[in-house]
Amino acid sequence: MYSQIPFNAITRMTGDGLCLAEIITDPDGNPVDYRFLRINDLFAEFTGLKNATGRTALEMVPELERSWIDYYARVGLGRETLRFENHSPVMKRWFEVQASPAEKHGQLYIMFRDITARKAADEAREHALEQSQQLFQELGHRVKNSLAVISSITKMEARSAGPEAKEALDRVRARISAVAQLYAAMHTDQTIDSIQMDDYLTSIIHALRNSVEDHGRLTITTEVEPILLNSHQAVNVGLVVNELVTNCVKHAFAPDQNGEITVALSAAEGIARLDVRDNGNGGASQEGSGLGHRLITAFIGDLGGTRDSQTRPDGGSTVSVTFPIKRD
């Protein structure tokens, strides 16, 4: 096909380099070099090789990488059609290549373009992204440490506060912990885009378990699927869980009553469902008017979700939150 019309006409629209080459073999038939038989005008511009017609690749670039000969031998001798990207450190260039067999055995057409600038841009972008991620990880680490200091100060203040103030400070500390756990999860996953919710909620529940040790023999369990949420939705879910579990501890059980609280998260067809269940007296299903209720309403609204509260026949309560999963 290429032999019937001028090389330059073939690539005038595409802007590609083009050459007809012939594989050179040793006496045993092994490929050792290749010769340029015809070239178009862009050949020299893309390769930096001038007056290449009739000369071999190794003649013009003595230290040319062996991979080029091997690729082209597969086409000229093996009659394969190949498309690939390859780097030549000697020529200091990246090439995108499409090679196909010519009519005569041992010959092949090589259509190519210099993609060195594109590769450099890709590398620069990856480097910038890596630096951004490192910066974010460092920032997240510092924020997490700052939140830990604030949490410690709040805990110290709660020890000397009256009962009502102590309860308020404990709830503030739990909210701080929920946000801190998000930064810990992002540091563990090394991503700022999405959070693995089973790991994240497990860490929040672990902190809540430690905070309810003085509230009788309560157990908190999780049934969380390995769902990925973006960090904005994840922190809202974490804060909702913190408020709902705290409500269960405060309202669902009598002092020193044994009980169980279960936190479940599942997803189907782009909709996530959060359930917080208890086997207490149903008190946790009653919607109040205090700060906790207003925060829950705000967090659920930010999720674009809805809330449903029920008292089950067995006396326990279930609070369900459903919301659409957002991928960005």
Ordered by start, the domain boundaries in the chain are: 2-114, 120-324
Assess whether pLDDT exceeds 60 at residue 200. Answer: yes
Assess whether pLDDT exceeds 70 at residue 188. Answer: no
Assess whether pLDDT exceeds 80 at residue 97. Answer: yes
More confident residue, 323 or 44: 323
According to DSSP, residue 42 is labeled H
- Give residue 137's pLDDT: 63
Cα first-last separation, the chain: 48
Residue 162, both tokens = 């009256």
Beta bridge partners of 22: 35, 107
- Give residue 209's pLDDT: 76
**Nearest-angstrom CA–CA distance, 205 and 212:** 10
Instruction: Compute the average pLDDT of residues 226-241.
Output: 87
Percent of the chain with pLDDT over 90: 37
The superfamily in CATH containing domain 2-114 is: PAS domain (3.30.450.20)
- Strands 107-114, 259-268: pairing is unpaired
- Give residue 4's pLDDT: 43
Assess whether pLDDT exceeds 70 at residue 72. Answer: yes
Assess whether pLDDT exceeds 80 at residue 264. Answer: yes
In the chain, the amino acid numbered 12 is R
State pLDDT tens for residues 278-301.
988 877 666 665 777 788 888 899
The overall average pLDDT reported for the chain is 82
The most distant pair of C-alpha atoms in the chain lies apart, rounded to whole Å, by 97
- Give residue 175's pLDDT: 67
**Nearest-angstrom CA–CA distance, 197 and 179:** 13
- Give residue 125's pLDDT: 82
Lowest mean pLDDT among 55-59, 112-116, 161-165, 228-232: 161-165
Assess whether pLDDT exceeds 70 at residue 194. Answer: yes
Assess whether pLDDT exceeds 70 at residue 249. Answer: yes
Instruction: Compute the average pLDDT of residues 20-32.
Output: 95
- Give residue 178's pLDDT: 65
Q: How confident is the model at residue 92 (pLDDT cuts 50, 70, 90)?
A: very high
Assess whether pLDDT exceeds 60 at residue 27. Answer: yes
- Give residue 268's pLDDT: 92
- Give residue 66's pLDDT: 95
- Give residue 310's pLDDT: 87
Instruction: Compute the average pLDDT of residues 120-139.
Output: 72
Instruction: Compute the average pLDDT of residues 3-24.
Output: 76
Assess whether pLDDT exceeds 90 at residue 139. Answer: no
- Give residue 184's pLDDT: 66
- Give residue 189's pLDDT: 57
- Give residue 151's pLDDT: 65
Tell me which CATH code domain 120-324 carries.
3.30.565.10
- Give residue 1's pLDDT: 44
In the chain, the amino acid numbered 37 is L
**Nearest-angstrom CA–CA distance, 178 and 326:** 20
Lowest mean pLDDT among 142-151, 168-177, 228-237, 268-277: 142-151
Q: Record the pTM.
A: 0.51
According to DSSP, residue 289 is labeled -
Assess whether pLDDT exceeds 80 at residue 207. Answer: no
